Amino acid sequence: MARQLTTSDSKMSLYDRLSNSDLVLYYRVPTPQEQIDYDNSQVTRTRNKIKSASGDVRMKFGAQILTGIGDDSFTVPETDENALLKMKPLHSRKDSEYYDPEWKNLVVTMAPDIISKFAFLIFEASVEQSEDGDTVEDPT
């Protein structure tokens, strides 16, 4: 399948070992400037000291491009009481009865591992060399 050059949302599925399930995240493709800013923010240098900022950068940019979550990807407590006993779905679709306007904040603060890995995959690992990349045929 060809890469779609479009501004519409894309979809990524990730396997979550903690819940033993597949999670669906919707996102917009980063702009060229966001990709540059992400790359340039990975490390900082002050005189002779180099410091990695990849954790902060992944959280910031992952949250920035996240546009939605799959309907069966996350659950939240129905009430503060007995939180572990009764859970309800968390949806990002405004037309859902389980929509919560704080869905993004909840996902980012309660599942930072997901956001960090998501950002890594989009910004740092979206391309790799094909196994047959060593041989290139002359198109003429």
Tokens of 67: 């546009």
Residues of the chain with pLDDT under 50: none
Overall residue count recorded for the chain in this entry: 140
pLDDT of residue 58: 96
Can you give the pTM of this predicted structure? 0.83
Q: Where are the domains of the chain?
A: 10-124
- The pLDDT of residue 127 is 83
pLDDT at 105: 97
Q: Which residues contact 115 (CB under 8 A, 6 or more apart)?
A: 58, 59, 62, 63, 66, 107, 108
